[in-house]
Amino acid sequence: MTGDYGHSFAGELLGTFMLVFFGCSTVAVTVLFAAHTGLLQVAVVWGIGVTLAIYATRHLSCAHLNPAVSLAMVIAGRMDVRKLPVYWLAQLTGGFLAGAAVYAVFSPSMAAVETARHIVRGAPESVLTAMLFGEYYPNPSSPVTCSVSLGGAFGVEALGTFWLVLVIFALTEGCNVGRPSSDVAPILIGLTVTVLISIFAPLTMAGFNPARDFGPRLFAFLAGWGQVAIPGPRGGFFTVYILAPLVGGSLAALLFHRLLEPLMRGKAGNCSCKDHFPL
């Protein structure tokens, strides 16, 4: 793999690895050590991880770091469809390797928690440690009264990804006079992830990224969690954590590309907000 494809592969693999490792590690220290005492703390670390991963790799691959984002870029004509398999393979590989790295760091603590709580890895109750890798609905740490159906979980993941992709497009559209400097955009994307996790994590653990879910989940499947990882205690992981983000991101791309972008370009001769906010 040479040239532009090689740069893209390297950037997406490294960036996705960073994003997933930082994010899953903050879940790990919360579950294993109660290091974080609130959802916002976890969400902020996830957001910082996203921001750092974008800054580290956007020169190589534009830092999609998410199969749903890459598909959205193709739909909106911002990326050649021939690059999509390269991006997806790199993202899934980065997620898998990040899962392996999380296991390498926290495996002794996982085993200690399982022993202390009489959890047999691969049994239904081992979802407590499996959630360090993949995602589950409802969130296993939510109150027992929390109820989320397969359809509801699909809707949550699709909606969250829709908002994430829509914000990414808005922050990077040249004719959007409200967009920030490109130096600041990664911070705002990370904050968007923080907001979305803060809202949706109690329901579905807030994935919004097929590589973030399937890469580590596949590692957990191979590392002994078996059917608790794939297909999961309630099944539907493909529908909720892979298909739903792809659908949500695609709808955001269509809305922006077909409606919002033309409206912005139609106002290109008067890209000013003075008529709305007079000085």
Query: What is the tens place of the pLDDT at every residue in 13-52?
Result: 999 999 999 999 999 999 999 999 889 999 999 999 999 9
Does pLDDT of 201 surpass 60? yes
Does pLDDT of 1 surpass 70? no
- Confidence bin at 146 (pLDDT 50/70/90): confident
| CA-based torsion, 206, 17, 127, 124: positive or negative | positive
The answer to whether 142 and 160 have CB atoms below 8 angstroms apart is no
Instruction: Give the C-alpha separation, 98 to 104, whole Å.
Output: 10
pLDDT tens digits, one per residue of 263-278: 888 875 554 444 433 3
Residue 142: the pLDDT is: 83
The answer to whether 23 and 45 have CB atoms below 8 angstroms apart is yes
Residue 173: the pLDDT is: 86
Q: Which domains does the chain have, with CATH numbers?
A: 5-264 (1.20.1080.10)
In eight-state DSSP terms, residue 140 is T
Percent of the chain having pLDDT more than 70? 94
The answer to whether 157 and 151 have CB atoms below 8 angstroms apart is no
pLDDT tens digits, one per residue of 43-94: 999 999 999 999 999 999 999 999 999 999 999 999 999 999 999 999 999 9
Q: What is the rounded average pLDDT of the residues 167-195?
A: 92
- Confidence bin at 141 (pLDDT 50/70/90): confident
Q: For the whole model, what pTM was predicted?
A: 0.93
Instruction: Give the C-alpha separation, 11 to 48, whole Å.
Output: 18
Residue 273: the pLDDT is: 40
- Confidence bin at 2 (pLDDT 50/70/90): low
